[in-house]
Amino acid sequence: MKITLVLADTGRQTPAGLSLLQVGWKSTFGASQPDGSFILPEQAVVVFVEAEFSEINRVYSTDLWLVDRDNNPQQFNTPNGPIDAEVHRQVLIPQVMGASIGVDSSLATVFYDFPMGNIRVKEVPGWYRWMFKLDNGETGETGFMVNPAPVQPSFGPLAGGTNPA
């Protein structure tokens, strides 16, 4: 099997396929929170699982989790407080219509969409990785940098200053 992870700003999965916005980035920003953590903007993680003919038409259990450079788990914000950023689900790798035994493979797409403010990281700037694992032991990962949120421009005279002339 071949596993590829891709990051996007957002997306939508339909029976006909997958539509993604701003695909393939490797850097985002984190907004500082009063507790010292940082929340991230909306983010989608797409996992492409390419399977050999002998591995299709089977349901696989999957795990996706977010860690920092030192493999420390990061968190999701929930109504009941922060929890480790991990998602467990099942995926079926379907047969491609007309595929021949031993020649063709099949592709399954596993799509995760996290709303703005849902993902919480501990350190900025920092390098983070989404890790993915199938129950057969196959793994994949993709990393990204989180930088401080850009400072918003201010308009008008500076506090305590004078108007430039």
- Specify the fold of 2-148: Immunoglobulin-like (2.60.40)
Q: Where are the domains of the chain?
A: 2-148
pLDDT interval class at 98 (50, 70, 90): low
Q: Where is pLDDT greater, at 165 or 72?
A: 72
Element housing 121 (H / E): strand 119-121
pTM, to two decimals: 0.84
Fill in the amino acid letter for 29: F
Within 10 angstroms of residue 7's Cβ, the number of other Cβ atoms is 20
pLDDT of residue 136: 93
Q: What is the mean pLDDT of residues 107-136?
A: 94
List pLDDT tens digits, range 145-160.
Answer: 999 988 777 777 766 6
From 79, 77, 142, select the one nearest 114 (Cα to Cα). Answer: 77
Q: What percent of the chain has pLDDT over 70?
A: 90
Is the per-residue pLDDT at 44 higher than 80?
yes
Question: What is the C-alpha end-to-end distance of the chain, expressed in Å?
Answer: 66
pLDDT of residue 165: 55
Q: What is the mean pLDDT of residues 45-61?
A: 90
List pLDDT tens digits, range 80-96.
Answer: 989 999 999 999 888 77
Return d(Cα 14, Cα 20) in angstroms, integer.
Answer: 11
